[in-house]
Amino acid sequence: MPSLSWVELHGAFTHMPLAFLLSVPLFEIGAIVFRKPEWHTVSFWLLVGAVVMAVPSLLTGWFTGNDIFLTRENAQAPAIFYQHRLAAFATSGLAIVLLAWRIKSRDRLPKHALTASILLAAVTAATVGYTGFLGGRLAAVTAATVGYTGFLGGRMVFGGGSEPASASNYVPVNPAAAPAAKNSGVKIPNVEPRLVIAGARLFKELPCQSCHRMEGKGGTSGPDLTHEAQRHADIQWQIEHLKNPQKMKPNSDMPPFDHLSAAELKALAAYLVTRK
Ligand code: HEC
């Protein structure tokens, strides 16, 4: 699955409903304060836009989350991931209720109902703001654990320009930020998260864990690989070792995995060099 593009699309889509929903109560209040009834109409169409754009936002977010957290080996989605998802659905629900209400009244709510609808718009703006805040935190957590910092949302919240995600956004995992990286100092090469994810899947499918422990699970006839990057954080070394263990470790008992394709070897290596 193209996890990278889901991430990028999600980052691109989500900011539209976010900005729209934040603007809805502002235009509503502005319409009253500055006596500009046309602003009320503007707020209606902003709300329509927000609800329409919520669909691709939720879909891309759903695929991104599944790809990064729910289909990975030992996938431990952080609690903030579920909070972000819940907040996103809650926001969308509120926005839909608000829009349905305004459509039903042909957008001519009587005074008290209008006040209530503006309050609901303000609550929706608050939840969308909170969703975005959680999304930014989630991007930072993912950057620390997967090594990817290309999330536009994360970049907005955590500084850094607004340049689009590109290969240059793949930075070494920050050892200080990741809980598993107590004994740091390891220089991790730049790897694409989708390679790491593919490698994690392969690692699970192949019989690696019959001999190797990974994060507490697996056999013990080979070394524990949970912190393999501390031994060999070198993609090329890992590829050569997988193809022919004895070439890199003369007395190794590990069987060769030379039947794997170049892409599979690269993915496995990417996974191994990011185990810090
Ligand atoms: C039959 C058991 C066995 C299987 C299956 C196996 N290994 Fe190994 N592996 C070993 C042994 C034993 C060593 C230690 C060799 C030594 O240090 O002499 C080792 C070493 C390693 C190392 C450490 C290299 C280093 O940095 O020193 C890595 C990485 C590794 N294996 C990855 C894998 C992966 C990935 C798989 C699955 C594709 C796998 N192994 C499957 C037995 C196995």
CB proximity list for 62: less than 8 A, separation 6 or greater: 85
How far apart CA 241 and CA 267 sit, in angstroms, is 14
Q: What is the pLDDT of residues 91-104, one digit of tens each?
A: 999 999 999 999 99
Pick the CATH number of 180-273 from 3.90.230.10, 1.10.760.10, 2.40.100.10, 1.10.3720.10: 1.10.760.10
Q: What is the pLDDT of residues 258-270, one digit of tens each?
A: 999 998 999 999 9
159 conformational bin, left if phi > 0, alpha if psi -120 to 50, beta if neither: left
How far apart CA 105 and CA 98 sit, in angstroms, is 11
pLDDT of 188 higher than 90: no
pLDDT of 48 higher than 50: yes
- The model carries a pTM of 0.52
How far apart CA 191 and CA 112 sit, in angstroms, is 56
- Percent of the chain exceeding pLDDT 90 equals 60
Q: What is the pLDDT of residue 95?
A: 97
Q: What is the pLDDT of residues 165-185, one digit of tens each?
A: 333 333 334 333 333 333 446
Q: What is the pLDDT of residue 172?
A: 35
Q: What is the pLDDT of residue 73?
A: 54
pLDDT of 90 higher than 80: yes
Residue 61 has which token pair? 């977010």
Q: What is the pLDDT of residue 5?
A: 63
pLDDT of 32 higher than 70: yes
Cβ(239)–Cβ(233) under 8 Å? no
Atom of ligand 1 nearest to the CA of 237: 26
Average pLDDT over residues 5-17: 84
Could you tell which of 215, 236, 254 is best to mutate to test the pocket of ligand 1, judged by most ligand atoms within 8 Å of the CB? 254
Which residue would you say has higher pLDDT here, 226 or 136?
A: 226
Atom of ligand 1 nearest to the CA of 219: 2
Comparing 103-112, 134-143, 147-156, which segment has the lowest mean pLDDT?
147-156
C-alpha 228 to ligand 1 mean position (Å):
10
Q: What is the pLDDT of residue 1?
A: 44
Q: What is the pLDDT of residue 181?
A: 37
Q: Hey, how many other C-beta atoms are within 10 angstroms of the C-beta on 188? A: 20
How far apart CA 47 and CA 218 sit, in angstroms, is 52
Average pLDDT over residues 129-150: 74
Ligand 1 is surrounded, with C-beta below 6 A, by: 203, 206-208, 210-212, 221-223, 225, 228, 231-232, 241-242, 249, 251-255, 257, 268, 272
Cβ(247)–Cβ(240) under 8 Å? yes
